[in-house]
Amino acid sequence: MKVLLVNGSPRQNGNTSVALAEIAKALQEEGIKSEIVWIGNKPVRGCIVCNKCREKTGACTFNDDVCNTISSKFSESDALIVGSPVYYGQPNGALLSIIQRSFYSNGAAIAGKPAAAVAVCRRGGASASFDTLNMPFMMMNMPIVTSQYWNIVYGREPGQAALDQEGMQTLRTLARNMAWLLKSTDGKPAPGRGSEPWQMMSFIR
């Protein structure tokens, strides 16, 4: 089984990378493979609700950034973990755009699979960012894997996150819980939506 980890920081080797590497190491010790993918620091488009992805199944119609590269890995992954630095009390905007576009265009390939989020910050805003990152998982029927605390790590300068002993322990516990869930379910996604017809309802008629 394999977990896809997405480094949502524009800094490839910053504290978000440190956090995800700690998770990957703990997963390996549990016999679970992992792949860390960096979103890079080039421009990322936001979704414009063109719905062209409905005509091009499994990919966003815009193919000039990293979005489709990441979403193409959904089908070969049994779980997803996304990590992000905190900017103004929110996750990195580029990462949010990638999540929104990839889930909308290729959500069927990731729906029902276990997921977790990691927020990395200097001081504040981590819990709000953590909540924001978890919301899309809920909409995709993805079981959210927990730890002994919220998956939050502190550090400003590159590498400082490794000094957050409690944060690193929290991430290792997250990895072990993820491994346990994957092994317990044999990597099978949750049934979620599809087990009965979706009853969509809007509140403006």
- pLDDT tens digits, 67-106: 999 999 999 999 999 999 999 999 999 999 999 999 999 9
Where do the domains of the chain lie? 2-185
As a whole number of angstroms, the distance between CA 100 and CA 94 comes to 10
Q: Does domain 2-185 have CATH number 3.40.50.300?
A: no
Whether the pLDDT of residue 130 is over 90: the answer is: yes
Q: What do you get for the CA distance between the two ends of the chain, in Å?
A: 45
Q: Average pLDDT, whole number, for the chain?
A: 96
Model-level pTM? 0.96
The CA distance from 145 to 158, in Å, is: 26
